[in-house]
Each structure stands twice: as structure tokens, then as C-alpha cells.
Copies of this chain bind each other. A is one copy, B any other.
Amino acid sequence: MLRRLLLLHVPRRHFSSSFSSALPLSSPTFAVFGANTGVGKTLVSAGLAASLLRSHGASPSGVLYLKPLQTGFPADSDAEFLFRMVPSLLRASHAAHLAASLDILSASPSVEILPPLPEEAAFSYDGEGEVVRKQLSCRTLYAWREAVSPHLAAEREGMVVEDAHVRSRLAACLVEGENLGKGDGEGEVWKLVETAGGVASPGPSGTLQCDLYRAFRLPTILVGDGRLGGISSTLSAYETLLLRGYDVSAVILEDRGLSNDKFLLSYLRNRVPVLVLPPIPEDPSDDLTDWFCESSSVFGLLKDALQSFHSTRIQRLISMQRKSKDLLWWPFTQHNLVHVDSVTVIDSRCGESFSAYKVKDNKMTMTPQFDACASWWTQGPDSNLQIELARDMGYAAARYGHVMFPENAHEPALRCAELLLGGVGKDWASRVHYSDNGSTAIEIALKMAFRKFSLDHGILVDSGKSITNERNIQLKVLALEGSYHGDTLGAMEAQAPSAYTSFLQHPWYSGRGLFLNPPTVFIRNETCTLSLPPWIQHGHLSPGDKCFPSLAEVFCKTRDSSSAADLYSTYISQQLSKYSLSSNREHIAALIIEPVIQGAGGMHMIDPLFQRVLVQECRNRKIPVIFDEVFTGFWRLGVESTSELLGCLPDIACYAKLMTGGIVPLAATITTEAVFEAFKSDSKLTALLHGHSYTAHAMGCSAAVKAIQWFRDPSKNSNLDFDQMKLNEMWDGTLVNQLSSLPNVKRVVSLGTLCAIELKAEGSDAGYASLCARSLIQLLHEEDDIYARPLGNVIYLMCGPCTAKDICTEQLSKVYRRISSFNPVH
């Protein structure tokens, strides 16, 4: 028997909750969690390992047992127990020979430092005329002396190990272990990862073990508790695992004469198989051989249940690409252009990364991929917030289910409203109107603005009771070219004509607005540059008005007295006058803009001075101002509300996406009391008759409450500059500048959680229809494990407000390397 005691020195740095390696999927891998400490996890592991190695045929070719965290070491060593027990069980039941290896990678400070040599000896199984070689490898990754919880042992012995360290070590072992015993055949290698204590016992850093291992999301064997109270602790442990997104593949527990198994079997029917083991001898001198012998049929059943779980899972994963392509209708997707192999099967997400099912070099893997789309601009949570939100979602569903909203009050809706009005609505808004998504929030905002405008301008009088010539009146919006406000007809009508609005897309679209072409700002060749639309005479602006040392100068309020401000003001006034002269039936009844960044239009940064002047001109004319903050709100651009960047306030603002932290749809249209008053009268007919069934649903509001508080809490969000209430730079300035200087890059926009890069493209290759960026995206996807989606010629990286800067830098470096070496195939 070999014993290696290893101390690993890894430099301290920030790791993501994920790990970079793809985990093999072809062989079954299970985590062994316990409902409590002392319920027999190690006995279950041993019995299962023996059952596996005893099986006929080539599969499995080996069993890898991993004990990541061992306390009470060396007196207690579960790996050693298995290593000693399993061969003896096999010898007892068959004529067999086993030699196996035992590695211990320990955090204990006193032990000898050796390189980690995995060394597994073969085990020949000679049963029923055939000789099969199998291997068992048992490894401890970290060990501490004291027999207490790892967090306490680590603290007391001064040997704390970082979570990321544990995860990457475990991942490496799982990848390595794939080849165990493969010299002699092609069988599976079963891998068992036995945790320490109960499901929520802390690991060495204090992170609960169910959280520590979450990024792996291994299918789980839950060892239940057969004692008095054991039903409760088993079910609670089961729920704790579910609240981390684990799949429990089997529950197995000792019979202590209380029939806990019968109750659990009935409770978990059609969900999880429940198996019961004979009572474990309490006499410490018992070598347990008889018990294992008596239990072998149960372990056989466990093995079968796990095998079946594994095959079902794999078969489903394999079939999902085809089935999805056959049954689903993806939005914004030309199905003819999606090859079945290119469908991404997302098994789960953990913080900023997906776990995607992927076949690499003919091998099935579960691969972490950075979600550069921030799941289509909604994301928020790092792995900590995700688990917090999951717990809150369960609680909200259990407490409220759904309760209808009109004339009612419930805590999540009220609390969320308080946070909105004290945050993004501070100093101007006093009312919150909830709806379901950005598009509905915009439709509501337009209805609000039109009513307010109609009353202010005498189109409606006396709270709508008396209306004159209403059908001769046409209300329009003032908006910007390239704007996008959603996909329902009302929101579409407020945006300029584009590929989204053709007859093909909606025969009812007419474009009810005056759409201005705005100046934009971007970084090119390391310089912050103003790009002017054709209507501006370049000569009128000084170089200082067109180039800026940094973005801070672009946002600077001193520009209000620049020649650019005059130019903008004059132009806007002219346009509005021209419009009102051309028709006396048509009125500009609302201004609607996406402040600072136009998202879907191509990640264009609009000159904030232009937007500020626009707001002022509308205010002068009593035209209500709507900020569409659906994309830009809640720290997307580094501040909670982009009003702070623009330096001016709206009458109505719309929020969605990031508002719930990126977990569930919910939207809010917030507004001033003056707008609210426009709907008040003694008649129900003047009320705003717009509402959806799930308005202010409890789960959405609860998520928003958690997310809004989390993002602005410096103890949770380490990116936050609390004094300035803005996020520190997420995207490395040097890298951004380098990117902006690449010959195939047209412009870069980097602000808050967004870094967008427009590639150069010629002629018909430009615009939404373009597939230019597609091959680059494909390389990022396949080679760099970055899940991105092109927006015409624009590719972008988007993170959450709490994403560690290291993660951003890592992804941006990959993108830089990829673009700088990229030759698009035309």
C-alpha cells in the first residue's frame, strides 16, 4: 500500500466559482452527500465500490473514490477505509486479487511535500472463467488533524484552503481519473466524490459544501438518516440539495427500526429511489464484513439505480439537440441557418457560466462557458447571488404563490416599490406601475405620456371626461434612429423603421414618430471619438468638441456650454418646429430614448450631451420624457440609473431585465405624481386600464428586492465604489485600447458591464442581416469557451455588476487574441 502526503502550494488569486476544465461525462460520476454526519456515507461508498468492481464484464474498468476534505486525519481516513475494505470484500465474495493506490493530498502543514503521482495498481478479477483487470483508486485531497468540521479544523490548524483551489484540484482528479484501468479495456470508470459531514457542513473556507461543489453539479447519492428525527433531517437535506440545483439520484439509509425508509419511499415516490440497508453493527470491533455481505444485494440495487440514472441522463443529453430543433421555435432565429450540432444544450448555470453539454474529440463533456450575452442582457448574479435568489424564489412561491394586485398590497411589491422610488426614482418618481417585461413597460409608459400630454395641451380636458375631435388627433413620439423598445406593436411603433419593423415582420407597423439621427461616441485607435450625423457641419465644432481623452470628459456637464450644445439645440428646435408646421393634427406627445447606449440597435453610445439637450427641449415644450432603461438600468452601465450619467431626469422610466437580478421576468414603469394625477377622476374609465395577470408577482418582486439591495451593498458587491455609487472599471483599459487599435475593429464601446466591439465589414455585409461576426463567434464558442451571440457586426462581452474583474480580464484577453489573429472567410 502506498501513502502519499502532499502539500500543494498554489498562489492566492481570485478564482471564479467555476473551473476551466471540461468534465468527462461518459463514465458515471456521483457525489455522496449525507443527511447528517455519522449516517454512513463511507460505508455506502465502500459497498457501492465493491458492488461495481464485483460486476461481470469489462465495465466498469475501475472505480475512483475521492474524499476532497478529511478531518481527524490520519486516525480517520475514509479513503484508507475504502482502500482496505473493498478488496477484502471482493476477496470474501470471489477469488479476486486487488492492488490499489491511495493518495492523500493534504493541507496538513507537517507532512512531507511530494509531487502528486497518481499511481493505481491493477486488480485482476477472475470469476466465472473470465479474467478481467479492474482498478480501484482512493484519494484524499486535503486533510486536517482535528476531528471537527473542516472550517473549524482549517481555522484552528491555520490551514485554510480556498474554494477555487479545492474545485480545480477536484476537477483535475476527475479528468485524470477517466483513464483509470483503461490500459486493458474500454470500460467505464465510476467516480465517487464523498463529502464531509452533512450537506450544508462548511468546507475549509466556510463555504457550505453544497455550494462549494455546486459548479460540478454532480448527480448525488443522499445517505439518509434512519434514526429518530431522521425523516426530517433526510428531507431537509434533500431540499437543501434541490435549492442548489442538484439532482438526487438515490436515497439510501440504514434501518433503525423506525421505518423511516417506508415513509421516505412513499414521500419521494416517482422522484427518487429509496433503498434501505440493514442495521449497522454498533460494536466497534466488528469488521463489518458480515454487514457488507448482508447488504450486497442492496448495493447491487443502488448500482442499478445509479446506472439507470446515468444512462437516462446521457441519452437525454444526446437527444436534446435534435428534439429542440424539431419542437422549439426560437425567437430571432432563422431555423434554416441553425445546424442541429450547433444547438447549445445548457445543463445548468453557475454564476457567470453555463455548463454546456459538449462533444469534444469524440468525448462527451460538461463544459463551463462564460455567458458573454449575460443571458441576453438580463444577468446579474454571481454564484453567491444565484443561490440567494434561489432560496428567495422558493420562499416567495411558498409564501405567496401568486396573489392578484389591483387594490391589494403585499410585502414584496411594496418593498420593491420603496427600493425603486428610493433608488432609480430618487428625487423625481413617486409611483410604480408593474408589468411583465420591457415591452409592456414601454407600452404603459406611452399610455401615461399620451394622457399627460393630451391633458397639458388641451386635447383632453377635465381628466378625460370631455374629449374634442379625438379621432382627428394623431399623437407621435420623438425618438432616435437606431432605437429599440421591444417587440409588441406599441413599442415597435415608437421606434424607427428597421429590419425589425418591415411589413414582413409586422404588417401593422407604421412608425409613429419623428426619428432623429443622433451623434455617437466610441473608442477607435485608443481615442474617444464623437461621430457626427450628416446634418452637423463638422467645421462648426472644435477638435476639443470631437475628441476626448476619456469617457469622463464625454459625460462632463461643462459641455453644456460648448458649441456642440448650441448646435444640438438649434437642430432639435428646427426639427420640432418643422414638424409642427407640417401638420396641425399631429403632435409630438412624448420623447422616448434609451439613455446613453442603444442596445439592440447595435450597442451605440449616443452623445450624452445630445440626449441632455433633447430632454431640455422637450421639457420646454411640455412633452413628457420617457427613459427606456430596460437595458441600461441597474448598473448595466456602471451606475444604478443612467440619469446619473446623463445628468437629467425623465417623467417616466421603464425597468426590466436586470431589475430581478436576472432570474425571472418583471418590469416596472415608474413616474411622477403629476403623470399619475392625469388618470385620476371619479370614473373608472379614466383609470389606466392596462395590467397583466401576474402584475407584481411575488417571486419577481422578491428577486428585485434582493437584487437591488445586493448590487448596491459594498459588502456583497466588491466592484462598487460606494462613495461615488458607481462600479469600478470592469474591462481592462489597456486591453480595450489595444482592441480599439486592431485593423479589423471599427469601434469599441466599453461602459460598466458592457464591452462591445464592432468589426469592420463592407457593403452589404453590414447591418443586422450580416453573418460576418458569426465565424468569430463560433471560434470563441468552440475554442475559448465563451458563449457569445453576434449583433450584426458587433460582438460583445457582458458581465454582471458583481462579476470579479479577473473574470472580465480573462474573457477580454481571449477575445483580443481571437480577433487579432482572425481572418474572416469571405
Contacts and interface: CB of A to CB of B under 8 A. Distances in A.
B504 A467 contact: yes
B228 A149 contact: yes
Interface string A640-672: 000000000000000011000011110000010
A302 B696 CA distance: 35
Contact of A334 (B197, B201, B681): B681
A405 B373 CA distance: 11
Nearest to A686: B504
B242 A229 contact: no
Contact of A438 (B330, B390, B693, B697): B693
A552 interface: no
A802 interface: no
Interface stretch (A88-96, A446-454, A529-537, A803-811): A446-454
A460 interface: yes
A401 B663 contact: yes
A634 to B, nearest CB: 13
Interface in A8-47: 36-38
A336 B491 CA distance: 29
A691 B487 CA distance: 7
Contacts of A454: 507
A402 B660 CA distance: 11
A399 interface: yes
A440 interface: yes
A399 B217 contact: yes
Nearest to A668: B329
Interface string A147-191: 011011000000000000000000000000000000000000000
B432 A327 contact: yes
A549 to B, nearest CB: 35
B431 A400 contact: no
Contact of A405 (B331, B395, B400): B331
Contacts of A671: 329
Interface string A440-468: 10010011001100100000100010010
B684 A504 contact: no
A508 B500 contact: no
A413 interface: yes
Interface stretch (A281-289, A381-389, A611-619, A751-759): A381-389
A488 interface: yes
Interface string A226-248: 00110111011101101111000
Interface string A374-412: 011111010000110111011111111111111111110
Contacts of A345: 408-410
A569 B272 CA distance: 55
A200 B768 CA distance: 55
Interface stretch (A115-123, A470-478, A557-565, A576-584): A470-478
A514 interface: no
A305 interface: no
Contacts of A464: 504
A490 interface: yes
B450 A692 contact: no
A825 interface: no
A676 B688 CA distance: 36
Contacts of A408: 324, 330, 343-346
A512 interface: yes
Max count, chain B CB within 10 A of own CB: residue among A206, A327, A680, A691? A327
A148 B489 contact: no
A414 B335 contact: no
A599 to B, nearest CB: 10
Contacts of A376: 404-406, 693
A235 B691 contact: no
A575 interface: no
A332 B475 contact: no
Contacts of A255: none
Given A148-B228, A243-B398, A386-B397, A769 B683 contact: yes
Nearest to A333: B406
B489 A443 contact: yes
B398 A437 contact: no
B418 A327 contact: yes
Contacts of A769: 683-685
Contacts of A486: 692
A344 B464 CA distance: 28
Given A407-B330, A493-B489, A400 B348 contact: yes
Given A149-B228, A331-B405, A332-B689, A233 B36 contact: yes
Contacts of A688: 329, 331-332, 505
B487 A328 contact: no
Contacts of A438: 692-693
Max count, chain B CB within 10 A of own CB: residue among A418, A500, A681, A690? A690
A90 B768 CA distance: 79
B379 A390 contact: no
Contacts of A656: 693
A602 interface: no
Contacts of A199: 232, 236
A336 B678 CA distance: 12
A687 interface: yes
Nearest to A352: B401
Given A389-B401, A699-B663, A436 B436 contact: yes
Contacts of A679: 334-335
B263 A206 contact: yes
Interface in A756-784: 768-769, 771
A616 B200 CA distance: 61
Interface in A334-381: 334-338, 342-349, 354, 371, 373, 375-379, 381
A487 B443 CA distance: 9
A689 B379 contact: no
Interface string A485-512: 0111111010000011011111110001
Nearest to A504: B464
Contact of A503 (B396, B404, B470): B470
A323 interface: yes
B387 A398 contact: yes
A196 B617 CA distance: 69
A515 interface: no
A656 B694 CA distance: 10
B409 A321 contact: yes
A301 interface: no
- A-B complex: 7 closest residue pairs judged by Cβ atoms: A331-B691, A198-B232, A394-B394, A245-B399, A37-B229, A489-B490, A324-B409
9 contacts: A324-B413, A329-B431, A330-B407, A331-B406, A331-B690, A347-B411, A378-B694, A490-B506, A664-B699
Given A333-B407, A437-B693, A683-B769, 15 more contacts: A197-B229, A239-B240, A242-B398, A320-B409, A323-B414, A329-B431, A332-B689, A342-B407, A376-B404, A393-B699, A406-B789, A451-B504, A489-B493, A663-B699, A685-B769
